[in-house]
Amino acid sequence: MASNKRRRHTPDQIIRKLAEGNKLLGTGQELAEVCRHLEVTESTWHRWVAQYGGMKANEAKRLKELEAENARLKKLVANQALDIDMLKEISSETSDPGSQAQRRHGVA
């Protein structure tokens, strides 16, 4: 690589680099040479092939959008579960009159 700075590639850039890399591999170049030319590591190349192999740019973009939405929804569900637990705890404390009386008299 030209520099050691990590760089994020968009799905469109990844698809283009995979296409270019596959053309170079088709001409007989070694994977190490192709990766140097594309300025990515071999492990990155293999990860991209596993994740994006055979996809078109619009499909890759849609995949990323769905992954982001999925992460957002998981976070929302987790927050709601915490809210439910908190409300259950508050509800059980207020519905048990004995516990309130015990707390007022220092018995608990």
Helix H, strand E, coil C: the string for 53-64 is: CCCCHHHHHHHH
What span, in angstroms and rounded, lies between the C-alpha atoms of 33 and 74? 41
pLDDT of residue 98: 61
* pTM as predicted: 0.54
Per residue in 67-81, pLDDT (tens digit) is 999 999 999 999 999
Among left, alpha and beta (phi > 0; psi -120 to 50; other), residue 5 is beta
